[in-house]
Structure 1
Protein backbone atom coordinates (compact mmCIF):
# COMPACT_ATOMS: atom_id res chain seq x y z
CA UNK A 1 0.00 0.00 0.00
CA UNK A 2 1.07 3.58 -0.55
CA UNK A 3 2.30 5.69 2.32
CA UNK A 4 -0.56 8.19 1.90
CA UNK A 5 -2.44 8.77 5.13
CA UNK A 6 0.14 7.38 7.53
CA UNK A 7 0.14 9.49 10.66
CA UNK A 8 2.76 7.87 12.87
CA UNK A 9 5.61 5.42 12.68
CA UNK A 10 6.88 3.48 15.65
CA UNK A 11 9.21 0.63 14.74
CA UNK A 12 10.28 -1.42 17.75
CA UNK A 13 11.90 -4.84 17.55
CA UNK A 14 11.42 -7.42 14.83
CA UNK A 15 8.31 -8.35 12.89
CA UNK A 16 6.37 -6.95 9.96
CA UNK A 17 4.97 -3.44 10.15
CA UNK A 18 1.36 -3.46 11.34
CA UNK A 19 -1.05 -0.78 10.18
CA UNK A 20 -3.49 0.26 12.88
CA UNK A 21 -6.59 2.38 12.35
CA UNK A 22 -7.67 4.12 15.56
CA UNK A 23 -10.81 6.12 16.28
CA UNK A 24 -12.74 7.10 19.39
CA UNK A 25 -16.02 8.64 20.46
CA UNK A 26 -18.35 7.08 17.91
CA UNK A 27 -21.32 7.80 20.24
CA UNK A 28 -23.59 5.36 18.43
CA UNK A 29 -27.27 6.27 19.00
CA UNK A 30 -30.46 4.27 18.70
CA UNK A 31 -32.18 6.81 16.44
CA UNK A 32 -29.16 7.92 14.43
CA UNK A 33 -29.67 8.20 10.68
CA UNK A 34 -26.01 7.53 9.92
CA UNK A 35 -24.18 4.21 10.09
CA UNK A 36 -20.55 3.29 10.71
CA UNK A 37 -20.73 0.36 8.32
CA UNK A 38 -19.14 2.09 5.34
CA UNK A 39 -16.43 3.54 7.57
CA UNK A 40 -15.57 0.11 8.95
CA UNK A 41 -15.45 -1.31 5.44
CA UNK A 42 -13.02 1.43 4.42
CA UNK A 43 -10.85 0.80 7.47
CA UNK A 44 -10.69 -2.89 6.62
CA UNK A 45 -9.05 -2.01 3.32
CA UNK A 46 -6.58 0.45 4.88
CA UNK A 47 -5.43 -1.27 8.08
CA UNK A 48 -4.60 -4.60 9.72
CA UNK A 49 -6.27 -3.84 13.07
CA UNK A 50 -9.02 -1.43 14.16
CA UNK A 51 -8.75 0.18 17.62
CA UNK A 52 -11.72 1.93 19.25
CA UNK A 53 -10.91 4.26 22.15
CA UNK A 54 -14.17 4.39 24.10
CA UNK A 55 -17.51 6.21 24.09
CA UNK A 56 -18.61 3.58 21.63
CA UNK A 57 -22.24 4.26 22.58
CA UNK A 58 -23.91 7.57 23.36
CA UNK A 59 -25.84 6.60 26.49
CA UNK A 60 -24.53 3.13 27.30
CA UNK A 61 -27.71 1.41 26.16
CA UNK A 62 -27.62 -2.22 25.02
CA UNK A 63 -29.49 -1.38 21.81
CA UNK A 64 -26.77 1.12 20.91
CA UNK A 65 -24.17 -1.61 21.42
CA UNK A 66 -26.22 -3.94 19.21
CA UNK A 67 -26.27 -1.35 16.42
CA UNK A 68 -22.50 -0.99 16.69
CA UNK A 69 -22.08 -4.77 16.66
CA UNK A 70 -24.20 -4.96 13.51
CA UNK A 71 -22.09 -2.29 11.80
CA UNK A 72 -18.89 -4.09 12.80
CA UNK A 73 -19.92 -6.98 10.56
CA UNK A 74 -18.50 -4.85 7.75
CA UNK A 75 -15.10 -4.91 9.46
CA UNK A 76 -12.93 -7.73 8.15
CA UNK A 77 -9.98 -7.11 10.49
CA UNK A 78 -9.51 -7.68 14.26
CA UNK A 79 -11.09 -5.04 16.51
CA UNK A 80 -9.62 -3.93 19.86
CA UNK A 81 -11.53 -1.54 22.11
CA UNK A 82 -11.92 0.03 25.54
CA UNK A 83 -15.06 1.57 26.97
CA UNK A 84 -15.54 5.26 27.79
CA UNK A 85 -17.57 7.23 30.30
CA UNK A 86 -20.64 7.38 28.03
CA UNK A 87 -20.72 3.59 27.92
CA UNK A 88 -21.43 3.60 31.67
CA UNK A 89 -24.24 6.15 31.61
CA UNK A 90 -27.27 3.81 31.73
CA UNK A 91 -25.88 1.35 34.27
CA UNK A 92 -25.87 -1.43 31.67
CA UNK A 93 -22.13 -1.62 31.08
CA UNK A 94 -22.01 -5.41 31.58
CA UNK A 95 -24.65 -5.87 28.88
CA UNK A 96 -22.83 -3.47 26.55
CA UNK A 97 -19.54 -5.30 27.10
CA UNK A 98 -21.17 -8.71 26.57
CA UNK A 99 -22.74 -7.63 23.27
CA UNK A 100 -19.46 -6.30 21.93
CA UNK A 101 -17.47 -9.34 23.01
CA UNK A 102 -20.07 -11.59 21.41
CA UNK A 103 -19.46 -9.62 18.20
CA UNK A 104 -15.78 -10.58 18.36
CA UNK A 105 -14.38 -7.34 19.79
CA UNK A 106 -11.26 -7.68 21.95
CA UNK A 107 -12.70 -5.47 24.69
CA UNK A 108 -9.91 -4.60 27.13
CA UNK A 109 -10.45 -3.54 30.73
CA UNK A 110 -7.10 -4.11 32.36
CA UNK A 111 -6.14 -6.93 29.98
CA UNK A 112 -3.87 -7.43 27.00
CA UNK A 113 -4.38 -8.89 23.55
CA UNK A 114 -1.64 -9.98 21.16
CA UNK A 115 -2.45 -9.52 17.47
CA UNK A 116 0.10 -9.75 14.66
CA UNK A 117 2.98 -9.64 17.17
CA UNK A 118 1.76 -6.36 18.67
CA UNK A 119 0.63 -6.24 22.29
CA UNK A 120 -2.52 -4.17 22.85
CA UNK A 121 -3.01 -3.01 26.45
CA UNK A 122 -6.21 -1.27 27.43
CA UNK A 123 -7.95 0.45 30.33
CA UNK A 124 -10.53 3.22 30.37
CA UNK A 125 -8.45 5.49 32.57
CA UNK A 126 -9.99 8.23 34.68
CA UNK A 127 -9.91 11.92 35.56
CA UNK A 128 -7.57 13.75 37.94
CA UNK A 129 -5.69 16.45 36.06
CA UNK A 130 -2.16 16.89 34.84
CA UNK A 131 1.30 17.69 36.14
CA UNK A 132 1.61 19.83 39.24
CA UNK A 133 -2.14 20.50 39.14
CA UNK A 134 -3.06 16.84 39.44
CA UNK A 135 -5.66 16.29 42.15
CA UNK A 136 -4.25 14.90 45.42
CA UNK A 137 -5.88 12.65 47.98
CA UNK A 138 -6.74 15.24 50.60
CA UNK A 139 -9.90 16.52 52.23
CA UNK A 140 -13.40 15.14 51.86
CA UNK A 141 -14.06 11.43 51.36
CA UNK A 142 -15.55 12.16 47.94
CA UNK A 143 -12.26 13.71 46.78
CA UNK A 144 -10.28 10.80 48.17
CA UNK A 145 -12.59 8.33 46.42
CA UNK A 146 -12.07 10.16 43.12
CA UNK A 147 -8.29 10.06 43.47
CA UNK A 148 -8.44 6.41 44.52
CA UNK A 149 -10.30 5.57 41.30
CA UNK A 150 -7.67 7.37 39.25
CA UNK A 151 -4.87 5.51 41.04
CA UNK A 152 -6.72 2.21 40.61
CA UNK A 153 -6.95 2.66 36.84
CA UNK A 154 -3.23 3.43 36.66
CA UNK A 155 -2.42 0.34 38.72
CA UNK A 156 -4.59 -1.82 36.50
CA UNK A 157 -2.74 -0.44 33.50
CA UNK A 158 0.59 -1.26 35.14
CA UNK A 159 -0.51 -4.81 35.96
CA UNK A 160 -1.61 -5.31 32.36
CA UNK A 161 1.66 -3.90 31.01
CA UNK A 162 3.57 -6.46 33.03
CA UNK A 163 1.79 -9.21 31.10
CA UNK A 164 3.01 -8.03 27.70
CA UNK A 165 5.47 -10.37 25.99
CA UNK A 166 5.78 -8.60 22.63
CA UNK A 167 8.45 -6.13 21.49
CA UNK A 168 5.80 -3.71 20.22
CA UNK A 169 3.04 -2.35 22.44
CA UNK A 170 0.09 -0.06 21.82
CA UNK A 171 -1.64 1.39 24.89
CA UNK A 172 -5.36 2.00 24.39
CA UNK A 173 -7.14 4.47 26.69
CA UNK A 174 -10.26 6.60 26.73
CA UNK A 175 -9.00 9.37 29.01
CA UNK A 176 -5.90 11.37 28.08
CA UNK A 177 -2.55 10.65 29.75
CA UNK A 178 -1.01 14.02 28.81
CA UNK A 179 -2.20 17.61 28.74
CA UNK A 180 -0.89 18.32 25.22
CA UNK A 181 -3.62 16.38 23.45
CA UNK A 182 -6.47 18.07 25.33
CA UNK A 183 -5.32 21.58 24.35
CA UNK A 184 -8.23 23.40 22.75
CA UNK A 185 -10.75 22.24 25.34
CA UNK A 186 -11.93 24.78 27.94
CA UNK A 187 -9.30 25.11 30.65
CA UNK A 188 -11.97 24.62 33.31
CA UNK A 189 -12.55 21.00 32.27
CA UNK A 190 -8.93 19.89 31.87
CA UNK A 191 -9.00 17.94 35.18
CA UNK A 192 -11.94 15.90 33.83
CA UNK A 193 -10.23 14.90 30.59
CA UNK A 194 -7.52 12.64 31.95
CA UNK A 195 -4.68 12.17 34.37
CA UNK A 196 -0.89 12.32 34.38
CA UNK A 197 -0.92 9.18 36.51
CA UNK A 198 -1.54 7.23 33.31
CA UNK A 199 1.57 8.73 31.69
CA UNK A 200 3.64 7.97 34.79
CA UNK A 201 2.69 4.31 34.43
CA UNK A 202 3.27 4.23 30.68
CA UNK A 203 6.77 5.65 31.06
CA UNK A 204 7.82 2.68 33.19
CA UNK A 205 7.63 0.49 30.10
CA UNK A 206 8.74 0.38 26.48
CA UNK A 207 5.71 1.57 24.53
CA UNK A 208 5.40 2.06 20.78
CA UNK A 209 2.45 4.47 20.95
CA UNK A 210 -0.59 5.50 23.00
CA UNK A 211 -4.07 6.30 21.67
CA UNK A 212 -7.00 7.87 23.48
CA UNK A 213 -10.22 9.78 22.84
CA UNK A 214 -12.62 11.77 25.06
CA UNK A 215 -11.25 15.26 24.28
CA UNK A 216 -13.33 16.16 21.22
CA UNK A 217 -11.77 19.61 20.87
CA UNK A 218 -8.25 18.49 21.63
CA UNK A 219 -5.29 18.12 19.30
CA UNK A 220 -3.96 15.06 17.58
CA UNK A 221 -0.42 14.58 18.85
CA UNK A 222 1.58 14.80 22.06
CA UNK A 223 4.18 12.89 24.07
CA UNK A 224 4.56 11.54 27.56
CA UNK A 225 7.38 13.00 29.68
CA UNK A 226 9.35 9.85 28.82
CA UNK A 227 8.87 10.39 25.08
CA UNK A 228 6.14 7.90 24.15
CA UNK A 229 4.02 9.27 21.28
CA UNK A 230 0.39 9.95 22.24
CA UNK A 231 -2.46 10.38 19.74
CA UNK A 232 -5.91 11.79 20.43
CA UNK A 233 -8.01 9.83 17.95
CA UNK A 234 -11.47 11.11 18.92
CA UNK A 235 -13.36 11.18 15.63
CA UNK A 236 -13.90 14.95 15.95
CA UNK A 237 -10.17 15.71 16.08
CA UNK A 238 -8.49 16.69 12.81
CA UNK A 239 -5.99 14.04 11.73
CA UNK A 240 -3.32 13.91 9.02
CA UNK A 241 -5.38 11.28 7.18
CA UNK A 242 -8.19 13.75 6.62
CA UNK A 243 -10.48 10.96 7.77
CA UNK A 244 -12.23 10.35 11.13
CA UNK A 245 -9.65 7.69 11.99
CA UNK A 246 -5.89 7.84 12.40
CA UNK A 247 -3.52 5.40 10.73
CA UNK A 248 -0.47 4.30 12.66
CA UNK A 249 2.41 2.08 11.53
CA UNK A 250 3.89 -0.03 14.32
Structure 2
Protein backbone atom coordinates (compact mmCIF):
# COMPACT_ATOMS: atom_id res chain seq x y z
CA UNK A 1 0.00 0.00 0.00
CA UNK A 2 1.29 3.48 -0.94
CA UNK A 3 -0.01 6.54 0.91
CA UNK A 4 -0.02 9.75 -1.15
CA UNK A 5 -0.69 13.31 -0.04
CA UNK A 6 -1.58 15.54 -2.99
CA UNK A 7 -2.53 19.14 -3.59
CA UNK A 8 -2.18 21.95 -6.14
CA UNK A 9 -3.25 25.51 -6.91
CA UNK A 10 -1.74 26.99 -3.75
CA UNK A 11 -1.10 30.16 -5.78
CA UNK A 12 1.28 31.49 -3.14
CA UNK A 13 0.89 33.96 -1.58
CA UNK A 14 -2.88 33.86 -2.23
CA UNK A 15 -3.60 30.61 -0.34
CA UNK A 16 -0.41 30.30 1.69
CA UNK A 17 -2.05 30.91 5.07
CA UNK A 18 -4.93 28.53 4.35
CA UNK A 19 -2.56 25.90 3.07
CA UNK A 20 -0.33 26.08 6.14
CA UNK A 21 -3.45 25.68 8.30
CA UNK A 22 -4.42 22.63 6.25
CA UNK A 23 -0.98 21.18 6.90
CA UNK A 24 -1.60 21.58 10.62
CA UNK A 25 -4.91 19.73 10.30
CA UNK A 26 -3.15 16.92 8.44
CA UNK A 27 -1.58 16.17 11.80
CA UNK A 28 0.58 13.10 12.06
CA UNK A 29 -0.10 11.61 8.61
CA UNK A 30 3.05 9.91 7.35
CA UNK A 31 2.82 9.66 3.55
CA UNK A 32 5.11 7.68 1.30
CA UNK A 33 5.18 10.52 -1.23
CA UNK A 34 3.87 14.09 -1.54
CA UNK A 35 2.62 15.23 -4.96
CA UNK A 36 2.16 18.88 -5.97
CA UNK A 37 0.03 19.46 -9.06
CA UNK A 38 1.24 22.88 -10.18
CA UNK A 39 0.23 26.53 -9.78
CA UNK A 40 2.14 26.58 -6.52
CA UNK A 41 2.72 30.33 -6.95
CA UNK A 42 0.84 33.25 -8.44
CA UNK A 43 2.17 35.04 -11.56
CA UNK A 44 5.57 33.28 -11.43
CA UNK A 45 6.33 34.77 -8.00
CA UNK A 46 9.12 32.28 -7.35
CA UNK A 47 10.00 33.64 -3.89
CA UNK A 48 6.42 33.25 -2.65
CA UNK A 49 6.76 29.47 -2.54
CA UNK A 50 9.43 29.65 0.18
CA UNK A 51 7.19 29.39 3.30
CA UNK A 52 5.24 26.51 1.75
CA UNK A 53 8.47 24.79 0.73
CA UNK A 54 10.02 25.15 4.17
CA UNK A 55 6.96 23.77 5.94
CA UNK A 56 6.74 20.85 3.52
CA UNK A 57 10.36 19.99 4.21
CA UNK A 58 9.84 20.37 7.94
CA UNK A 59 6.98 17.89 7.91
CA UNK A 60 7.79 15.60 5.00
CA UNK A 61 11.49 16.07 4.34
CA UNK A 62 12.12 12.36 4.73
CA UNK A 63 9.91 11.34 1.79
CA UNK A 64 9.95 12.30 -1.90
CA UNK A 65 8.18 15.59 -2.68
CA UNK A 66 7.35 15.62 -6.39
CA UNK A 67 5.91 18.55 -8.34
CA UNK A 68 4.87 19.60 -11.81
CA UNK A 69 4.71 23.13 -13.13
CA UNK A 70 1.42 24.89 -13.77
CA UNK A 71 0.50 27.79 -16.01
CA UNK A 72 1.49 30.19 -13.19
CA UNK A 73 5.04 28.80 -13.17
CA UNK A 74 6.00 30.36 -16.45
CA UNK A 75 7.56 28.39 -19.27
CA UNK A 76 11.29 29.07 -19.40
CA UNK A 77 11.72 29.41 -15.64
CA UNK A 78 11.77 25.69 -14.82
CA UNK A 79 15.49 25.62 -14.03
CA UNK A 80 15.12 28.54 -11.64
CA UNK A 81 12.50 26.65 -9.62
CA UNK A 82 14.78 23.63 -9.58
CA UNK A 83 17.71 25.78 -8.41
CA UNK A 84 15.85 27.59 -5.62
CA UNK A 85 13.77 24.64 -4.44
CA UNK A 86 16.15 21.79 -5.03
CA UNK A 87 14.62 19.36 -2.52
CA UNK A 88 11.51 19.13 -4.70
CA UNK A 89 11.72 16.74 -7.64
CA UNK A 90 10.27 18.81 -10.47
CA UNK A 91 8.96 16.89 -13.48
CA UNK A 92 8.43 18.48 -16.89
CA UNK A 93 7.25 15.77 -19.31
CA UNK A 94 9.48 13.40 -17.37
CA UNK A 95 9.31 10.15 -15.41
CA UNK A 96 10.49 9.55 -11.85
CA UNK A 97 11.03 5.98 -10.66
CA UNK A 98 10.64 5.42 -6.91
CA UNK A 99 10.74 2.46 -4.58
CA UNK A 100 8.18 3.11 -1.82
CA UNK A 101 6.68 0.64 0.65
CA UNK A 102 8.10 -2.22 -1.38
CA UNK A 103 6.40 -0.98 -4.55
CA UNK A 104 8.08 0.13 -7.78
CA UNK A 105 6.25 3.40 -8.42
CA UNK A 106 6.65 5.43 -11.62
CA UNK A 107 5.36 9.01 -11.69
CA UNK A 108 4.87 10.66 -15.07
CA UNK A 109 4.79 14.42 -14.53
CA UNK A 110 3.70 17.17 -16.92
CA UNK A 111 1.88 20.49 -17.04
CA UNK A 112 -0.54 18.57 -19.24
CA UNK A 113 -2.60 19.87 -22.13
CA UNK A 114 -5.77 21.80 -22.74
CA UNK A 115 -8.39 20.85 -25.30
CA UNK A 116 -7.48 24.10 -26.99
CA UNK A 117 -5.15 26.97 -26.05
CA UNK A 118 -6.53 30.08 -24.42
CA UNK A 119 -6.62 33.25 -26.50
CA UNK A 120 -3.63 34.57 -24.58
CA UNK A 121 -1.70 31.38 -25.25
CA UNK A 122 -2.55 31.53 -28.95
CA UNK A 123 -1.11 35.06 -29.13
CA UNK A 124 2.00 34.57 -27.02
CA UNK A 125 2.96 30.90 -27.27
CA UNK A 126 3.19 29.80 -30.91
CA UNK A 127 3.39 26.05 -31.30
CA UNK A 128 1.40 25.34 -28.17
CA UNK A 129 -1.60 23.98 -30.07
CA UNK A 130 0.63 21.34 -31.70
CA UNK A 131 2.18 20.51 -28.32
CA UNK A 132 -1.26 20.00 -26.78
CA UNK A 133 -2.21 17.79 -29.71
CA UNK A 134 0.81 15.51 -29.42
CA UNK A 135 1.27 15.34 -25.64
CA UNK A 136 -1.31 12.60 -24.93
CA UNK A 137 0.46 10.19 -27.28
CA UNK A 138 3.81 11.10 -25.75
CA UNK A 139 2.49 10.34 -22.27
CA UNK A 140 1.08 7.03 -23.52
CA UNK A 141 4.52 6.06 -24.84
CA UNK A 142 6.08 7.00 -21.52
CA UNK A 143 3.61 4.81 -19.64
CA UNK A 144 4.37 1.84 -21.88
CA UNK A 145 8.09 2.36 -21.29
CA UNK A 146 7.45 2.40 -17.54
CA UNK A 147 5.57 -0.86 -17.75
CA UNK A 148 8.34 -2.41 -19.83
CA UNK A 149 10.85 -1.43 -17.12
CA UNK A 150 8.83 -3.30 -14.53
CA UNK A 151 6.94 -0.46 -12.83
CA UNK A 152 4.21 -1.95 -10.67
CA UNK A 153 2.21 1.26 -10.27
CA UNK A 154 2.10 4.21 -12.67
CA UNK A 155 0.77 7.59 -11.58
CA UNK A 156 0.04 10.47 -13.95
CA UNK A 157 0.59 13.85 -12.29
CA UNK A 158 -0.47 16.91 -14.29
CA UNK A 159 -1.61 20.45 -13.66
CA UNK A 160 -4.35 20.55 -16.29
CA UNK A 161 -7.23 18.11 -16.12
CA UNK A 162 -7.36 14.85 -18.04
CA UNK A 163 -11.12 14.48 -18.51
CA UNK A 164 -14.30 16.53 -18.71
CA UNK A 165 -16.05 14.07 -16.37
CA UNK A 166 -15.05 15.89 -13.19
CA UNK A 167 -15.55 19.51 -14.29
CA UNK A 168 -19.05 19.98 -12.90
CA UNK A 169 -19.07 23.22 -10.95
CA UNK A 170 -17.03 25.01 -13.59
CA UNK A 171 -18.80 27.01 -16.34
CA UNK A 172 -19.31 24.73 -19.34
CA UNK A 173 -17.95 27.33 -21.74
CA UNK A 174 -14.46 27.17 -20.19
CA UNK A 175 -14.05 23.38 -20.00
CA UNK A 176 -11.80 23.45 -23.10
CA UNK A 177 -9.39 25.62 -21.08
CA UNK A 178 -9.37 23.34 -18.03
CA UNK A 179 -8.68 19.85 -19.40
CA UNK A 180 -8.06 17.67 -22.42
CA UNK A 181 -10.34 14.63 -22.77
CA UNK A 182 -7.86 12.99 -25.16
CA UNK A 183 -6.17 11.75 -22.00
CA UNK A 184 -9.14 9.46 -21.33
CA UNK A 185 -7.80 7.11 -24.02
CA UNK A 186 -4.32 7.43 -22.54
CA UNK A 187 -5.60 6.36 -19.13
CA UNK A 188 -7.50 3.45 -20.65
CA UNK A 189 -4.55 2.17 -22.69
CA UNK A 190 -1.58 3.18 -20.55
CA UNK A 191 -2.06 0.95 -17.54
CA UNK A 192 -2.26 3.86 -15.11
CA UNK A 193 -3.07 3.15 -11.47
CA UNK A 194 -4.02 6.74 -10.74
CA UNK A 195 -4.23 10.24 -12.23
CA UNK A 196 -3.92 13.44 -10.20
CA UNK A 197 -4.42 17.01 -11.39
CA UNK A 198 -5.45 20.49 -10.26
CA UNK A 199 -6.46 23.66 -12.21
CA UNK A 200 -10.24 23.21 -11.77
CA UNK A 201 -10.73 25.48 -8.75
CA UNK A 202 -14.50 24.98 -8.65
CA UNK A 203 -14.70 21.32 -9.62
CA UNK A 204 -17.14 19.67 -7.23
CA UNK A 205 -15.90 16.12 -7.79
CA UNK A 206 -12.79 15.05 -5.94
CA UNK A 207 -12.69 11.61 -7.54
CA UNK A 208 -14.10 10.12 -10.71
CA UNK A 209 -13.18 6.95 -12.55
CA UNK A 210 -12.14 6.96 -16.21
CA UNK A 211 -12.17 3.40 -17.48
CA UNK A 212 -10.55 1.66 -14.54
CA UNK A 213 -8.41 4.62 -13.49
CA UNK A 214 -9.30 6.83 -10.51
CA UNK A 215 -8.83 10.52 -11.35
CA UNK A 216 -8.46 13.04 -8.51
CA UNK A 217 -8.86 16.81 -8.72
CA UNK A 218 -6.69 17.95 -5.80
CA UNK A 219 -7.02 21.70 -6.43
CA UNK A 220 -6.68 23.33 -3.02
CA UNK A 221 -9.38 25.98 -3.64
CA UNK A 222 -11.80 23.19 -4.61
CA UNK A 223 -10.96 20.77 -1.80
CA UNK A 224 -9.95 23.11 1.02
CA UNK A 225 -7.56 20.48 2.32
CA UNK A 226 -4.67 18.27 1.29
CA UNK A 227 -6.02 15.12 -0.33
CA UNK A 228 -5.02 11.75 1.09
CA UNK A 229 -4.99 8.92 -1.45
CA UNK A 230 -4.29 5.26 -0.78
CA UNK A 231 -2.86 3.32 -3.68
CA UNK A 232 -3.43 -0.38 -3.01
Give the alignment's TM-score, normalised by structure 1. Answer: 0.75
Greater fraction strand: 2
The answer on 1:118 being equivalent to 2:105 is yes
* Aligned twin of 1:4: none
Superposed, which structure 2 residues align to 1:49-198 within 5 Å?
A: 49-74=33-58, 75-76=60-61, 77-88=63-74, 92-100=77-85, 102=86, 104-115=87-98, 116=100, 117-128=104-115, 145-164=127-146, 165-198=150-183
Q: Secondary structure at the residue paired with 2:216?
A: strand
| Structure 2 equivalent of residue 210 of structure 1 | 195
Question: Which residue of 2 is the match for residue 9 of structure 1?
Answer: none
> Aligned in 2, Cα 1:97/1:230: closer, same or farther, shift over 3 Å?
same
Bigger Cα displacement from structure 2, 109-118 vs 203-212? 109-118
Structure 1 position 30, deviation (Å): 8.6
CA contact 1:175–1:214 (8 Å) conserved in 2: yes
Unpaired runs of at least 5, structure 2: none
Consecutive unaligned residues in structure 1, runs of 5 or more: 1-16, 130-134
In angstroms, what is the RMSD of aligned CA positions?
3.0
CA contact (8 A) 1:180 1:221 kept: no
- Cα distance in 2 for partners of 1:208, 1:72 equals 25
Contact preservation (8 Å) 1:43, 1:50: no
CA distance in 1: counterparts of 2:15 and 2:91, whole angstroms: 27
What SS does the corresponding residue of 1:60 show, helix, strand or coil? Answer: coil
Q: CA deviation at 1:41?
A: 9.1
Q: CA deviation at 1:237?
A: 2.3
